[in-house]
Structure 1
Amino acid sequence: MYTHMKTTIDIADALFREARQIARREGTTLRALVEEGLRRVLRERRTSPGFRLRRATFKGEGLAPDLESGSWEQVRRRVYEGRGE
């Protein structure tokens, strides 16, 4: 048996009107519609894995020797060399 908590929420007028209209059309209550929506969101967030950044490393020998002690401006210039201006 479920217990129920009574609460008040503030939602945009347009969202309320649309939800109420859908509830009427489907022959249900606004309360049931809100509960269904909350259950869906909670289930989705429980089951969806968090974002994981893929490993993007590669083998190499680091920066070119002439850039090791350079500034980001020098690195940027080298990277874009021959592209555009």
Structure 2
Amino acid sequence: MRTTIRLEDHLLREAKAQAARAGRSLNEFIEDAVRAAVRTDGTPAPAPPPLPVFRGGRGLRPGVDLDSNAALLDLMDDHLR
């Protein structure tokens, strides 16, 4: 099955490098990572880091459109750079 995923640039570079060092394709590398994350041997996958919570009465930042997933993803991508 084909799908599209978004990865941070540095994460993708490291995944490609590790896959190349192991003589494997990036696809195989990512499949193994997903398998490890969803394993059913009773060992829980590591918990994600807590999400920061911001308080204040200023409302949404300018340019934030909660009705557009694509616009939100673009803003988050810009924030990570």
**TM-score (structure 1 length as normaliser):** 0.48
Q: Which has the higher helix share?
A: 1
Higher RCO (CA 8 Å, separation ≥ 6 residues): 2
**TM-score (structure 2 length as normaliser):** 0.50
